[in-house]
Amino acid sequence: FYALEGGLASPGASTAATGADPNIDATTWWTQTVGNPALYPPPPPNTPLTAGRTYFQQGLAAQGYGFVPTFENDTNNVSGKVGVDWKASDGVLAYASISQGYRGVAFNGQAYNDNSELTFADPEKLTSYEIGLKTQLWERRAVFNAAAFHYDYKNQQFLDAFTLPGGLGTGFRTTNAPKSRVDGAEFEFRAKATPDLEIGSSLGLMHSKYVELTLHSGQFVDTAHTIPRICCVGNRLIQAPDYNASLDVDWRFAHLAVGDLRLFVDGNYYGKQYFDAFNTERDAQGAYGVANARLSLESTGKRGYAIGAWIKNLTNRQYLAYALNQGDADTGALGFDYALVGEPRTYGIDATVRF
């Protein structure tokens, strides 16, 4: 196991265990106690093999037994966007654009277990092509928007799980997918059906895939080394469902002397999604939907109050918010996977005062 403890070192504070004196104000120092001696350099002479050991580090400037990574990468970039708008008529706007996005280098902040986790991911670049339509209908009581897009990623960043040296559990490293691609479309419709009723909806369609990506080449999924790992050209991107949809209704159903009674109901539906580049089926989350509701009493005017009762995940739908493959031979060989379940049904009340 490991435990991190830390605090601010005062000017002139000494660290006898390392013979170092930071002598720097507001410098964060911490100790890392490691319970597995096989993962780290040998301890001082006569230290029992079963004893935990303490290492002192200041950021990445290691003290004592620490490891000093020597990574460098250029984060300079120039991005641009070009687009054209066409107002076809009053309430109708068409547009097209080509733009570039950039994300700088990423360092693995979860490098707790082994030096092999100390990794940089190269800068990520995105070229986006989009065409769309924005409209206002029914004397501006409704809007309808539509867009189609194509994304070309270069060196898309993500976190990869692997088996630590010696088969000592799961490690993590930042890495890049050389090329990946997303094609999709989005639609939105919102209307004020009556002065007291507003309805909104959206639909998203998406097809994603890794165009160039090879992970864990020459490794095996099973401990018997009979199933080779083949990954990942053609696989879907992480947490990229093929479709998603939403619907919401905002209804002011009663006007009282003390205020208005309102009911707001919304729901979201998501297609199947994977949580790793391997597209591990046993950890995938199938299509699911979640609905929420809120009933409130709201006074009118800029100053006033609102009292509400709400419930989230009305049907108590069980789903995975995240999962991590740790059971395969090349992802930790732990015999189990990690999963984070979504928020169950929750409910409560709230009050707001405007002044």
How do the domains of the chain map onto residue ranges? 1-68, 79-354
| Span of 28-32, 95-99, 211-215, 291-295 with lowest mean pLDDT | 28-32
Q: What angle do CA 166, 168, 173 make, to 5 degrees?
A: 95
- Contact predicate 229/235, CB 8 Å: no
| Span of 15-29, 135-149, 156-170 with lowest mean pLDDT | 15-29
For residue 21, pLDDT over 50 is answered with no
Structure tokens at 222: 């099973």
Task: Tell me the mean pLDDT in the region 42-58.
Answer: 47
Residue 52 CA to its chain's centroid (Å): 34
The predicted pLDDT at position 46 comes to 60
**What sections of 175-307 are H helices per DSSP?**
none
Q: For 165, list phi and psi in degrees, rounded to 5.
A: -55, 135
Supply the DSSP string of 11-41, one letter for each residue: TT--BTTTTB----TTEEEEEEEES-GGGS-
Whole-angstrom Cα distance, residue 131 to residue 116?
44
Whole-angstrom Cα distance, residue 126 to residue 309?
43
Task: Tell me the mean pLDDT in the region 204-215.
Answer: 97
| Span of 21-35, 91-105, 158-172, 315-329 with lowest mean pLDDT | 21-35
Q: How distant, in Å, are the alpha carbons of 100, 180, 221, 244 from that of 152?
A: 10, 6, 30, 21
According to DSSP, the β-strands at 124-137 and 120-121 are unpaired
Superfamily of domain 79-354: TonB-dependent receptor, beta-barrel domain (2.40.170.20)
Which residue is associated with the tokens 């918010």?
321
The predicted pLDDT at position 245 comes to 98
According to DSSP, the β-strands at 259-270 and 243-256 are antiparallel
> Taking Cα atoms as reference points, which of 131, 153, 135, 152 lies closest to residue 144?
135
The predicted pLDDT at position 17 comes to 40
Whole-angstrom Cα distance, residue 53 to residue 39?
11
164/24: higher pLDDT:
164
Task: Tell me the mean pLDDT in the region 266-278.
Answer: 97
- Burial of 219 by CB count in 10 Å (0-12 exposed, 13-18 middle, 19+ buried)? middle
